[in-house]
Copies of this chain bind each other. A is one copy, B any other.
Amino acid sequence: MLDHINELPDWISRGLDDLFPNDNSGDSDQSFLKRLELSSVDKKPLRVKLGIDPTGTDIHIGHSILFRKLRAFQDAGHTAILIIGDFTARIGDPTGKSKTRIQLSKDEVQSNALNYLEQLGLGKDPKDSLLDFSIPSRIEIRRNSEWLENLNLSKVIELLSNSTVGQMLAKEDFSNRYKSGTPISLHEFLYPLLQGYDSVAINSDVELGGTDQKFNIAMGRDLQKAFGQKPQFGMLLPILVGLDGARKMSKSLDNIVGINEDSLSMYSKLEKVPDDLVLTYLNLLTNENLKELSSNPREVQKFMALKVTSNFKGIEAAKNAQFNSEKLVLGTKDSLEEIPEASVSNVNFPAKAFYLFSKMEMCSSSSEARRQILGGGVRIDGKKIMDPNLEFHTPDDLIGKILQVGKKKFLRVST
């Protein structure tokens, strides 16, 4: 399928699972290379669409694959168009037949969206974030309620008339449900058309998506043609396999690495992914040259963990995490995941070390804590602390770190 993929610049082709259409003709509606050239000749950046579902808030490294590709377009001078699906999130699924769609209030959606954008780097230096929010011509944030909220019935009918029952039932998930007799509510047929109409509304040149998005992205292309626009290209990226090495990375499967996790946690998880995922992670989550890797698999794994962590946390934090992970004296614990988490919400800051370890109930009293510290039995992230009066100013000084007393007591600090 990806015949002419090598003709594309590496920043585009890297990790790509599918590009459609993918014709090497001279037609800029059929050949992506031509569309790219046209953009360059006309000095008109490509409009690159990516949809965000604001029902969830935690971004994991699986999501980041798409944002990394979007960022690559930004860095090449093109415009990233983030579509926040606020309308569809607010509508949710009125039948309640699907458990995955939850109806959200306007405020919840707004707050989720802001949270999401902040995780992507809104307000941050672009060199420390997934997307570049600093150059106005390279980012456009749109909410689909802009054009969907007041879409009237005539327009809905026009949209619906662009597809047939047969086309919808050829879509894999609908097809399986129809064959098995599981009811498909009629409004579910509308969602691919609405997502497609987003492409019309923003006049996109490319839409990015996971491999499960082919149908919806192709629908956008069809609708753009029906509405007299130049049709978008679809760029599909793989769906990342999670830490279990088997299923797609998903919060509900508890096999994720969140981009908000602390660097030690991120590094430690990555360092232990199944061997056959290491190259995939390197390919999809870093820009490293896959031909120049060590021949020692253990070294490659550590290299991957370091580079991926570094992408999200910066090289300093990543190196620190690697160091701590290696130095961490786990005693009788086999793995980091077995360490229980505990919140510092009851601790008053600034907090001295002896008070902290007593308050967190790792020592029976303040005086016991002092004794343990002075006796050399207390560590934070594997590093011995010797001063009972060592002061922690805010929870951020501790969150994500591991408190250790003796060889058996461990706690991981959470918010």
* Residues of A near any B CB (own CB < 8 A): 87, 91, 93-95, 148-154, 156-158, 160-166, 168-169, 174, 178, 181, 183-187, 189-190, 193-194
In the complex, are the beta carbons of A153 and B163 less than 8 A apart? no
In the complex, are the beta carbons of A164 and B149 less than 8 A apart? no
Partner of A185, one of B148, B154, B161: B161
Partner of A152, one of B149, B183, B187: B149
A248 to chain B, nearest CB (A): 27
In the complex, are the beta carbons of A163 and B149 less than 8 A apart? no
In the complex, are the beta carbons of B152 and A164 less than 8 A apart? no
Q: Cβ of A194: which chain B residues have Cβ within 8 Å of it?
A: 153
Q: Cβ of A190: which chain B residues have Cβ within 8 Å of it?
A: 156-157, 160
A212 to chain B, nearest CB (A): 20
Q: Cβ of A158: which chain B residues have Cβ within 8 Å of it?
A: 94, 187
23 contacts between A and B (CB under 8 A): A91-B154, A91-B157, A93-B161, A149-B152, A149-B153, A150-B152, A150-B153, A156-B156, A156-B190, A158-B187, A160-B185, A160-B187, A160-B189, A161-B187, A164-B183, A164-B184, A164-B185, A164-B186, A165-B165, A165-B183, A165-B189, A166-B181, A168-B186
In the complex, are the beta carbons of A161 and B186 less than 8 A apart? yes
Number of copies: 2
Q: Cβ of A185: which chain B residues have Cβ within 8 Å of it?
A: 160-161, 163-165
In the complex, are the beta carbons of A152 and B152 less than 8 A apart? yes
A346 to chain B, nearest CB (A): 45
A178 to chain B, nearest CB (A): 6
Partner of A166, one of B153, B160, B184: B184
In the complex, are the beta carbons of B189 and A157 less than 8 A apart? no
The 9 closest A-B pairs by CB, nearest first: A160-B187, A160-B186, A165-B184, A94-B161, A161-B187, A164-B183, A151-B153, A95-B161, A157-B187
Q: Cβ of A161: which chain B residues have Cβ within 8 Å of it?
A: 93-95, 185-187
CA distance A189 to B188 in the complex (A): 13
Q: What is the chain B residue whose CB lies nearest that of A174?
A: B165
Q: What is the chain B residue whose CB lies nearest that of A178?
A: B165
A38 to chain B, nearest CB (A): 31
A217 to chain B, nearest CB (A): 18
A227 to chain B, nearest CB (A): 12
Q: Which one of A148, A151, A165 has the greatest number of beta carbons of chain B within 10 Å?
A: A165
Q: Cβ of A153: which chain B residues have Cβ within 8 Å of it?
A: 87, 91, 148-151, 156, 194
Q: Cβ of A187: which chain B residues have Cβ within 8 Å of it?
A: 157-158, 160-161
Q: Cβ of A91: which chain B residues have Cβ within 8 Å of it?
A: 153-154, 157
CA distance A181 to B165 in the complex (A): 10
Q: Cβ of A94: which chain B residues have Cβ within 8 Å of it?
A: 157-158, 161
A-B contacts besides A91-B153, A160-B185, A165-B165, 15 pairs, CB < 8 Å: A91-B154, A94-B158, A149-B154, A150-B152, A150-B153, A157-B187, A160-B187, A161-B185, A164-B184, A164-B185, A165-B168, A165-B183, A165-B189, A186-B189, A189-B189
Q: What is the chain B residue whose CB lies nearest that of A97?
A: B161
Q: Cβ of A151: which chain B residues have Cβ within 8 Å of it?
A: 152-153
Q: Cβ of A162: which chain B residues have Cβ within 8 Å of it?
A: 186
CA distance A34 to B72 in the complex (A): 70
CA distance A108 to B183 in the complex (A): 41
CA distance A204 to B166 in the complex (A): 34
Partner of A186, one of B152, B163, B181: B163
A100 to chain B, nearest CB (A): 15
Q: What is the chain B residue whose CB lies nearest that of A187?
A: B160
Q: What is the chain B residue whose CB lies nearest that of A93?
A: B161
CA distance A181 to B161 in the complex (A): 17
A177 to chain B, nearest CB (A): 9
Q: What is the chain B residue whose CB lies nearest that of A194?
A: B153
Q: What is the chain B residue whose CB lies nearest that of A95?
A: B161
CA distance A148 to B148 in the complex (A): 17
